[in-house]
Amino acid sequence: MIPLIFTGGTISMRLDDITGGAVPSLSGKEILAATRGIEDVAEVEVEEWGRFPGPHMTIDRMWALRNRVAEYLARSEVQGIVLTHGTDTLEESAYLNARSLQSDKPIVFTGAMRNASDLGWDGPANLLDAVRVASNPVSRGYGVLVVMSGRVYAGIDVTKAHTHLLDAFESPGLGPVGVIDDGAVIFRRALPEPQPLLEPDSLVTPVDIVNAYAGADGRLLEAARPESRGVVLSALGRGNIPPEMVPAVEHWIADGKPLVITSRAGRGRVGLTYGYRGGGRRLHDGGAILAGSRRPQQARIDLILALGAGLNVSAIREMFESYRATES
């Protein structure tokens, strides 16, 4: 049996005559009724969890959804789980589940890039493919997956890379783990050994992301410092920032709060290449934490989970260093 947890997103939307834009309108059962052939693939159970657009999915909602997934995983008759989700934040929910849940049963996220009023609404096809993946024995052991546009991605490395095309999702530098071809689920690569899970009883927030850019200074870092429990700095290139941001970084470190360096680049790792003021090596040696190839939104999830689990700055540094040591 495959539970279908409907949370909203474009897959649940149609055009609204008043606003002129797409808004949540369809129930899970209505989406299911438009999806021909699911009954031939698996027995399903529908849960109407919500009708949230992707930007309305807060960290607290994602955590509640993760806990609901854990309840389904504990049921012996459940083979796998499918969740519909708004694509704008789908990768964050998938990553949160991947970093905090362990099961051989596949947890499959899907959604749509076109709404039900559009020609070529992709929601039903994506939902059918997701059920195929969740119910297929070959998917066991792959953990959290994202199924979109006939491709299967690992929740640990997928991102939304295009604003509106049907094939909007990618795993930069890696590609999909598999495809759905004429109804068959075909996996083409294995996943690396997973990192130790982070399984807090609750989350610690707020944790912010601050972007570096040409000529940036420390105002945004300083504005976040009084309230935030930690911060992710989306730096330039290899993990470098303008020198005007450095004093604010030093203030964060002096406060004993974790400051994690990522890159705004879509591919590659931050590293110890540059030793000038604001360079990644200098930041690291001064107490900043380098996040390897984790993208900013992934590093933020890791930091929220780590703080919730009670890890101090030293342990958080060790956690991110372990990522860098095992990445290719």
Q: Both 138 and 259 in a single domain?
A: no
Paired residues of 211 in beta bridges? 234
Q: What is the pTM of this model?
A: 0.96
CATH at residue 159 = 3.40.50.1170
- The owner of tokens 């709404």 is 115
In this prediction, residue 192 carries a pLDDT of 84
Average pLDDT over residues 7-27: 96
pLDDT tens by residue, 280-316? 999 999 999 999 999 999 999 999 999 999 999 999 9
Q: How many CB atoms lie within 10 A of CB 21?
A: 9
**Is the N-terminal amide bond of 206 cis, ω within 30° of 0?**
yes
Q: How many CB atoms lie within 10 A of CB 234?
A: 21
Q: Both 169 and 273 in a single domain?
A: no
Contact by Cβ (8 Å): 31, 25: no
Q: Both 105 and 223 in a single domain?
A: no
Q: How many CB atoms lie within 10 A of CB 116?
A: 20
In this prediction, residue 327 carries a pLDDT of 65
Contact by Cβ (8 Å): 320, 198: no
Contact by Cβ (8 Å): 114, 120: yes
In this prediction, residue 193 carries a pLDDT of 84
In this prediction, residue 194 carries a pLDDT of 83
Residue 195 included in any domain: no
Hey, what amino acid is at 95?
Answer: Y
Residue 137 included in any domain: yes
Contact by Cβ (8 Å): 88, 149: no
- Tell me, yes or no, if 10 is annotated catalytic: yes
Q: Is the pLDDT of residue 326 over 70?
A: no
Q: Both 154 and 250 in a single domain?
A: no
Q: Both 124 and 261 in a single domain?
A: no
pLDDT band at 91 (very low <50, low <70, confident <90, very high): very high
Q: Both 183 and 274 in a single domain?
A: no
Contact by Cβ (8 Å): 45, 2: yes
Q: What domain count does the chain have? A: 2
The residue from 7, 10, 84, 262 that is catalytic is 10
Average pLDDT over residues 178-203: 93
* Domain extent at residue 275: 207-326
CATH at residue 279 = 3.40.50.40
Report the Cα–Cα distance between both ends of the chain, in Å, rounded: 37
Residue 318 included in any domain: yes
Average pLDDT over residues 75-91: 98
| Residue that finishes a domain, picked among 154, 187, 220 | 187
Average pLDDT over residues 82-97: 98
Chain mean pLDDT for the chain = 96
Q: Both 159 and 211 in a single domain?
A: no
Q: From CA 321, how far away is CA 213, in angstroms rounded? A: 25
With a CB cutoff of 8 Å and minimum separation 6, the contacts of 248 are 217, 218, 219, 221, 222, 225
Residue 197 included in any domain: no
Residue 116, by phi and psi: left (phi above 0), alpha (psi -120 to 50) or beta?
Answer: alpha
Residue 94 included in any domain: yes
Hey, what amino acid is at 212?
Answer: A
Contact by Cβ (8 Å): 161, 133: no
pLDDT tens by residue, 45-81? 999 999 999 999 999 999 999 999 999 999 999 999 9
Q: Both 132 and 19 in a single domain?
A: yes
Higher pLDDT among residues 151 and 326, named by residue: 151
Q: Both 219 and 179 in a single domain?
A: no
